[in-house]
Each structure stands twice: as structure tokens, then as C-alpha cells.
Amino acid sequence: MSDHRTEVFVGGIVLATAIGFLVYASQIAGFSTGKSEYQLSASFRSADGVDVGTDVRLAGVKVGRVAAITLDPVTYRAQTVFTVRDGIELPEDSAISISSEGLLGGNFVEILPGGSPFMLAAGDEIEFTQGSISLISLLMKFVAGSEDNGG
């Protein structure tokens, strides 16, 4: 009888842990945030390191997530659709860039608010963009530049 109680107890702990992970995963993915959002779009020359679900931040605070990324077959640019929480109004001259969390960290999308008195509406496109910067290409330029200066 003692073995049966132990098995039921351990099974309950495993089940509770699994439910906890599902709730956590759904919150990270944005399925159960309970907050209303509106969509904006932007076109990047390079969207390396950005996927659906990537954080969108304003002043370091997560305000949304990337909802979709597609390639524009005419301009060969990455068309990105992202969400922003309702109640956060962005000036129409705001800029958006892909930033890195650090040397080994991932990328996130950063909104840099402008100063216009006119605000973006749902479905608008942010015109001022800066794509991701490849760390490898920067290192290659640095190495190539240091070889030219050394000899």
C-alpha cells in the first residue's frame, strides 16, 4: 500500500510540473497574455536572428512580439509584422531596429520613439528601420583592417 501512495504522489508532482511548463510556454508564446494588442509592420534589409515570437521592446521593456516574417519578392527585404500592447502610442516618425542582447545573447526588435505629434495607427508601417548587424562580418572587417594597418 505504501508503494501505491508513493506512485500517486510522484505522479501528481509530475502532472503539476507539466501543467506549469505548459502555462509558462503559452505565456512566452503570447497565447494567454490576456492583453489586447495592435499590429504594425516594418521592412528590414536583414532580419537575421529574428523569428516569430521574438520580443519587441521599448526602452528595454517588452511591449509586444514579432507575429510574422516574410520575404518581399520584389524588394528582397524582410517584411515583418509585429504587435504592440494597446495603450502604447508610438509617434509616426518612430524608428525600429534589430538589436542584440549581447555577445552570446539573442536578438530582439527595439522601437525607438520619435517626436511627431501624430501617432501610428493599427496596420501602419514604420518607415525608419535598421536591420541586424552580423557579428561575424564585423569581426572579419576588424581582422582585415588590422592586417592592413600592421604591415
Q: How far is CA 16 from CA 21, 22, 24, in A?
A: 9, 10, 12
pLDDT given at position 8: 87
Pair 41, 104 in one domain: yes
Q: How many domains does the chain have?
A: 2
pTM above 0.85, yes or no: no
Same domain, 17 and 42: no
Single-letter amino acid, residue 122:
A
Q: Show the domain range for 19.
A: 1-33
Kindly give the confidence (pLDDT) of every residue in the chain, 151 residues in length, as a single tens digit, with 9 standing for 90 and above: 567 888 888 888 988 898 888 877 776 665 545 569 999 999 999 888 889 999 999 998 999 999 999 999 999 999 999 999 999 999 999 999 988 887 667 889 999 999 999 999 998 999 988 887 766 777 788 788 766 555 5
Q: For 88-106, what is each residue's pLDDT tens digit?
A: 999 999 999 988 887 667 8
Query: What is the rounded distance in angstroms from the CA atom of residue 25 to the CA atom of residue 27?
Result: 5
Q: What is the per-residue pLDDT for 106?
A: 81
Identity at 123, one-letter amino acid code? G
Q: Are residues 29 and 87 in the same domain?
A: no
pLDDT at residue 82, rounded to an integer: 94
Asked if the structure places residue 29 within a domain, the reply is yes
Q: Of 60, 64, 51, nearest to 120 (Cα)?
A: 64
Task: Measure the CA–CA gap between 86 and 63, rounded to whole angstroms.
Answer: 9
Q: Are residues 25 and 48 in the same domain?
A: no
Q: What pLDDT shows up at residue 30?
A: 56
